[in-house]
Amino acid sequence: MEELKSNSVSCRDYHPLYAPASAGDIDAQIELGIKYRDGNGVEQDGNKAVEWLTKAANQGSTQAKFNLGYMYKDGDGVPLNYSKAIEWFTLAADEGDMNSLVWIGILHQRGHGFTQDFSKAAECYSVAASKGDSYGQYNLGNLYRDGKGVPGDSHKALELFTLSAEQGNELALEALGELYIAQRDYEKGKEYLRQAGANGNQNALETLKKIEAVQEKHRIEDSVRKITCPFCGKKSVWKAKYCHGCTARILYSPARKYEWMGIGIAIFSAVVGVAMDPNHLGRVLFFSFLIWPLSLILSRLFGEQQAFFRKD
């Protein structure tokens, strides 16, 4: 009997798993194969992982066939072999495993083991998506968004991303966020990116930080008062001495409306004063028209200003 090599526990502790696996228990064979694949409690050994998973696959285990395909497509503990990966994925997919079907689509899309073919990838994703597989929905959404293998259709992409995101797929949440950002719906886009980040997608959090930084920059820029040059049409920051777009000088002076307001108040005060006390006409007129220069002084100190562009 083959002995189980362990780097953390004794072989005796693994007898409850090893014995049934040797006796043909499929679940024990899969568990043992995965432990050898990952080095989880035993010395990592890709060959032993393949041996035990193959025993389970030969007894009809779809899960074992998927795991074998996954090992061969990455070269995970075994030599990279797309042909074997496709063989095992196909067997599992024929038994209804949507994860395997999605990976066949990915291999078609990447041109790994197949001639690159986005249409065939879309066919695989479409079947998986129709069965409710979140990665099938997400991958098919990407193809519709990019117009690869299928006609470009942002509405279809949005629909598929939403279906996938509703199942908690962090990649779909990120894609939804980016799609809404591209459509200038920033608040909804940022919310989906936050959800993706909460589900462990660090890339979505980085994208969110960049978007918020850009928004803050625009908010600050928009809060700065600007004036438009009549000569070149460029905007300059208020209080700049020269136009940012040409050589025009910028001069500032109190807005004329305050001068007219001062004159109006002075005339009104004089009329009312005379009407109320005609015997002291001179005094009334003196104090009334004193309001005008006072209003000019106050407008220069505290009033609104206007800018003039002048080319010397």
Q: Residue 215: pLDDT band by 50, 70, 90 thresholds?
A: confident
Q: Are residues 162 and 30 in the same domain?
A: yes
Asked, for residue 105, whether it belongs to a domain, the answer is: yes
Q: Are residues 282 and 175 in the same domain?
A: no
Phi, psi of 250 (to 5 degrees): -115, 120
Q: Are residues 114 and 37 in the same domain?
A: yes
Q: Residue 96: pLDDT band by 50, 70, 90 thresholds?
A: very high
Q: Is the pLDDT of residue 4 over 60?
A: no
Can you give the pLDDT at residue 233?
84
Can you give the pLDDT at residue 182?
87
Q: Is the pLDDT of residue 240 over 90?
A: no
Can you give the pLDDT at residue 3?
41
Supply angle C-alpha 272, 256, 289, rounded to 5: 30
Q: Are residues 130 and 267 in the same domain?
A: no
Can you give the pLDDT at residue 183?
86
List, for residues 28-60, the tens digit of each pLDDT value. Answer: 999 999 999 998 888 899 999 999 999 999 999
Number of domains in the chain: 2
Asked, for residue 204, whether it belongs to a domain, the answer is: no
* Last residue in a domain, options 166, 195, 224: 195
**Type of residue numbered 5:** K
- Mean per-residue pLDDT, 64-90: 96
- Residues 185, 177: Cα–Cα separation, whole Å: 9
pLDDT > 90 fraction of the chain, expressed in percent and rounded: 51
Q: Is the Cβ–Cβ distance between 93 and 107 less than 8 Å?
A: no
Can you give the pLDDT at residue 138?
98
Q: Which residue has the higher pLDDT, 66 or 6?
A: 66
Helix, coil or strand: residue 252: strand
Asked, for residue 153, whether it belongs to a domain, the answer is: yes
Q: Is the Cβ–Cβ distance between 93 and 104 less than 8 Å?
A: yes
Q: Are residues 57 and 148 in the same domain?
A: yes
List, for residues 164-198, the tens digit of each pLDDT value. Answer: 999 999 999 999 999 998 888 888 989 999 999 99
Q: Are residues 59 and 183 in the same domain?
A: yes
- Mean per-residue pLDDT, 280-302: 62
Q: Are residues 48 and 182 in the same domain?
A: yes
Structure tokens given for 168: 């908690």
Spatial CA neighbour of 120 closest among 135, 131, 108: 108
Domain interval for residue 160? 11-195
